């Protein structure tokens, strides 16, 4: 059962200016948790969107300085640091100063296709940065470390739906390899230092405040600007599109339930978080066209290096352990995204 007392504890959320990080931070601070957020505000995509998310949390851009806490003007229980995970000295210093009960690491270099062209940044952020989080958890004796993994770790796996028991030793991109590496590194630290760690394999998250490099955002931009969308594998793709509120709900169920050591088994856990209802890509595009009331031109292309043809989450473990039941219908989620998109871009 969920520990309601979690909201009285100190939580460190990395990547809090990112898509999922913003939504999780907003949810937790509104429930009373003391949250310290961190983000490096990288220019992988429009930094103005990241600053706009922070504004929603009461952090003004003019008050942000590197490695110095900025206090929210709306929430007394939220502070923000602009810093990089690869800055080990700062990460250790923050964790020692606050002595966090819980760390939720959502900061990472995202993007499957981007990892083909820019591999260095994935080692910098996703490997070395995560190592620093593990070291900080070790030296400050964090009670629970939760970190973002990805459905991409299933790689060349042909079995559907993807289960946590399936092999994940065939990554198809460096991004996927970096996420699998995180899982292995976490297992090592759980085994050696008794740090309770939980990895969460996210499945194609979408919703308001999403990233501009994600399909739904790129499609929406093309629909509204009269452009053309690239449809890979000639449209023969399916994804377990999961609405961001369902992702946050799943994380919230996990945060009060750290895994425990069982005889020789370390305090280590892995869970899929998805909707368990894969949708066809062409249907997804059609729902977007309906939401915006416009059609879009389509350029059909072959499957790209590193891409998976299908993702489909088996969420049995999360259901059985934490009564997790994602419930946002894809049409409802797309309508919420389109409403936000129109508002956000209409006000700029």
| CA distance readout (Å), 329 to 28, 244, 275, 285, 302 | 24, 12, 9, 15, 29
Of 88, 69, 89, 93, residue with least CA distance to 16: 69
Q: At 25, is the secondary structure helix, strand, or coil?
A: helix
Of 87, 90, 56, residue with least CA distance to 73: 56
pLDDT, position 347: 42
- What digits encode the pLDDT tens for the residues 195-230? 999 999 999 999 999 999 999 999 999 999 999 998
> To 10 degrees, what angle do helices 88-98 and 129-139 make?
30
pLDDT, position 162: 92
- Mean pLDDT of all residues in the chain? 93
Of 268, 228, 317, residue with least CA distance to 145: 268
d(CA 243, CA 247): 7
Residue 1 pLDDT > 50: no
Q: Where are the domains positioned within the chain?
A: 4-203+244-275+312-327
Of 153, 144, 214, residue with least CA distance to 182: 153
CB 220 within 8 A of CB 292: yes
d(CA 204, CA 255): 21
- What digits encode the pLDDT tens for the residues 242-259? 999 999 999 999 998 999
Quickly state the pLDDT bin for 2 (edges 50, 70, 90): very low
pTM equals 0.94
Quickly state the pLDDT bin for 130 (edges 50, 70, 90): very high
d(CA 291, CA 342): 11
Quickly state the pLDDT bin for 5 (edges 50, 70, 90): low
- What digits encode the pLDDT tens for the residues 295-332? 999 999 998 887 778 888 999 999 999 999 999 999 99
Class of domain 4-203+244-275+312-327: alpha beta
Catalogue the E-assigned strands of the chain: 10-14, 34-39, 70-71, 78-82, 102-105, 144-150, 197-202, 205-206, 228-232, 238-239, 242-243, 268-273, 279-280, 297-301
Structure tokens at 249: 């709900």
Mean pLDDT of 288-292: 96
pLDDT, position 319: 96
pLDDT, position 156: 78
Percent of the chain, pLDDT > 90?
Answer: 80
- What digits encode the pLDDT tens for the residues 19-62? 999 999 999 999 999 999 999 999 999 999 999 999 999 999 99
The residues annotated as belonging to the active site are 175
Structure tokens at 332: 């409802």
> To 10 degrees, what angle do helices 330-346 and 281-292 make?
50
Residue 279 pLDDT > 60: yes
N-to-C CA span, the chain = 44
| CA distance readout (Å), 122 to 39, 86, 111, 127, 130 | 16, 11, 10, 7, 11
Q: Half-sphere exposure (CA, 13 Å, Cβ side) for 146?
A: 26
pLDDT, position 343: 96
């Amino acid at each position: 059962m969920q520990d309601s007392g979690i909201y009285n504890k100190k939580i460190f959320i990395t990547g809090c200016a990112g898509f999922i990080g913003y939504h999780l931070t907003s949810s937790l601070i509104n429930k009373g948790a003391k949250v310290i957020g961190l983000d490096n505000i990288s220019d992988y995509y429009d930094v103005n969107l990241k600053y706009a998310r922070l504004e929603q949390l009461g952090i003004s851009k003019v008050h942000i300085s590197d490695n110095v806490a900025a206090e929210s003007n709306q929430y007394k229980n939220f502070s923000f640091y602009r810093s990089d995970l690869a800055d080990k000295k700062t990460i250790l210093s923050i964790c020692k100063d606050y002595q966090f009960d819980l760390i939720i690491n959502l900061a990472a270099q995202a993007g499957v296709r981007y990892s083909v062209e820019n591999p260095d940044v994935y080692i910098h952020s996703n490997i070395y940065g995560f190592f620093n989080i593990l070291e900080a958890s070790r030296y400050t004796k964090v009670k629970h470390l939760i970190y973002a993994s990805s459905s991409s770790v299933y790689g060349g796996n042909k079995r559907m739906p993807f289960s946590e028991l399936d092999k994940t030793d065939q990554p198809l991109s460096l991004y996927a390899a970096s996420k699998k590496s995180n899982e292995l590194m976490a297992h090592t630290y759980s085994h050696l230092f008794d740090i309770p760690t939980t990895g969460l394999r996210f499945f194609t998250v979408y919703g308001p405040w999403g990233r501009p490099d994600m399909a739904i955002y790129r499609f929406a931009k093309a629909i509204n600007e009269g452009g053309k969308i690239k449809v890979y594998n000639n449209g023969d793709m399916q994804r377990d599109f999961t609405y961001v509120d369902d992702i946050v709900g799943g994380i919230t169920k996990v945060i009060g339930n750290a895994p425990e050591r069982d005889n020789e088994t370390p305090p280590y856990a892995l869970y899929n978080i998805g909707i368990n209802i894969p949708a066809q890509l062409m249907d997804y595009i059609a729902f977007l066209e309906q939401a915006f009331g416009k059609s879009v031109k389509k350029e059909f292309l072959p499957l790209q290096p590193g891409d998976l043809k299908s993702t489909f989450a088996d969420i049995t473990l999360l259901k059985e352990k934490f009564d997790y039941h994602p419930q946002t219908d894809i049409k409802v989620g797309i309508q919420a995204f389109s409403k936000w998109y129109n508002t956000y871009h209409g006000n700029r």
